[in-house]
Amino acid sequence: MDIVYNLCLVTLMGFLAILAGMFEDLESDVASTSNPNSQVQLAPQVGNLHKLFNRAVSGEPLLVGTMATIAGSITYVLLQINQPVLLSILLATIIITIIQAIFSVTSYMGRITSQALYNQPLFMDVIYKHVPIAAAHAFINLFSITTLAYLMIYVLQPAIPLTLPIATLLLGVSLGSIGSAVGDIHYGAEKLYQHHKYGSGIPVSVNGDITTRDSLGSRNSLDVVKFCSKFAGPITGLCFGIIIFLNFWIFLVFGVQIGLVVGFIIVLLILGLNYLLERRSRSIYGEYEK
C-alpha cells in the first residue's frame, strides 16, 4: 500500500514539475532572461530600436533559484507558526511574485535608459503589457516549485531529509538550468533573425541585427512567448517532469543500489536514442542547404 501511495504522489510531483518547467520557460521568454537577450541588448547599438522586453541582469538558474528560495523560506516560516499549508504556499507565492515583478520593472527601465546614448526610447506600454503576463507565469512556476518541495519533505514516505528553503533552492537552480539549456534552443531566435539564412546560427557579425517588425506592428516579447508556447515551454516542462518522476520512481521501485544501476542504464538508452535521432535527421534533411 505504501508503494502505491508513493507512486501516486510521485505522479503528482511529476505533473507539478511539468507545470513549473513550462511556465518558468515562458516567463523567461516574456522577460527576455534567456540567451538571445544579449543580442536584444546590442540591437540599439547597431541602429535597431525595438520594443522587446529587456530584463536579464542574471541567468535563469540564479534568478529562479533565488526567487524559489525566498518563496520556500516564507512558506517555512508560516508553517512554523501553524498556518494552513495551502494558505502558506499561496501567500508566499504572491509575495515573491510581487518582488519578481518589481525586479522586472526596475531592471528593464535600467537597461533601456542606459541605452539612451543610442536613442533607444523607453516604451511604457511594454511595461504595462509584459509585466502582468510575466508575473502570471512566475506565480504558477513558483507555486508549483514550492508545492513540489513541500510534497517531497512533508508528504513523501520516506521524506527527503532537507528543509523547505534548501529544497526550493535546489529545485529552482535545477529548473533554471533546464530552462536555459532546453528552452533556449527553441527560443525563437529564427524569428528574431528571420531575414538571415535559416540554420546559420547567430554569428558575432550579426549580433544585434534583429527583426524589429512583426506582421501587425512592432515586434515585442509577447510575440516571442506566443511562438515559444508551442514547443519551448512544453518541452522544458516535459524535461523537468521526466527528471523528477524518474528520479523518485526508480528508487521507489528498485531501491537505492539497484536504482542507481537502472538510472545509469536509462541515461545510456537516452544518449543512444539521441544519437540515432540526430544521425537520422541529418541524413534526411542535410545541412540546411534549402
pLDDT, position 289: 56
Distance CA 143, CA 46 (A): 40
Are the C-beta atoms of residues 126 and 32 closer than 8 Å to each other?
no
74 domain residue, yes or no: yes
> DSSP string covering 15-72, please?
HHHHHHHHHHHHHHHHHT-STTHHHHHHGGGGT---B-----SS-HHHHHHHHHHHHH
Q: What is the chain's mean pLDDT, rounded?
A: 85
pLDDT-based confidence at 135, cuts 50/70/90? very high
d(CA 181, CA 175): 10
Residue 1 confidence (pLDDT) above 70: no
Query: Looking at the predicted structure, is the pLDDT value of residue 266 above 70?
Result: yes
Q: What is the pLDDT of residue 54?
A: 83
Where b means 16+ CB within 10 Å and e means fewer, 146-170 reads: bbbbbbbbeebeeeeeeebbbbbbb
Contact 140, 90 (CB under 8 A): no
42 in a structural domain: yes
Between residues 122 and 182, the one the model is more confident about = 122
* pLDDT tens per residue, range 153-192: 999 888 888 899 999 999 999 998 888 878 766 665 667 7
Q: Could you tell me where the beta strands, DSSP code E, fall in the chain?
A: 213-214, 217-218
Q: How confident is the model at residue 286 (pLDDT cuts 50, 70, 90)?
A: low
pLDDT of residue 190: 63
Among residues 167, 133, 154, the alpha carbon closest in space to that of 28 is found at 133
Q: Is residue 177 a part of any domain in this protein?
A: yes
> In this predicted model, which residue has the larger pLDDT, 189 or 104?
104
Q: Looking at 22-31, 93-102, 201-210, 227-236, which range is the least confident one?
A: 201-210
Confidence category of residue 220, pLDDT binned at 50, 70, 90: confident
Q: Please give the pLDDT value at position 72.
A: 95
In-domain check, residue 219: yes
Any domain includes 268? no
Tally of domains within the chain: 1
What pLDDT does residue 189 have? 62
Average pLDDT over residues 5-30: 90
Tell me the C-alpha distance between 251 and 156, whole Å: 13
pLDDT confidence of residue 57: 66
* Mean pLDDT across 43-66: 84
Question: At residue 285, does pLDDT exceed 90?
Answer: no
- Rounded average pLDDT over 87-100: 95
1-5, 59-63, 188-192: lowest mean pLDDT where? 188-192
Q: What is the pTM of this model?
A: 0.88
> Is 269 contained in some domain?
no
Alpha carbon 19 to its chain's center: 10
273 falls within a domain: no
pLDDT tens digits for 111-120?
Answer: 888 888 898 8
What percentage of residues in the chain have a pLDDT greater than 90? 37
88-113: average pLDDT: 92
Grid cell at residue 284: 534526411
Please choose, from the candidates 151, 153, 133, 132, the residue with its C-alpha nearest in 3D space to the C-alpha of residue 143. Answer: 151
| Domain around 135 | 2-254
Task: Please report whether residue 264 resides in a domain.
Answer: no
Closest of 17, 77, 9 to residue 241, by C-alpha: 17
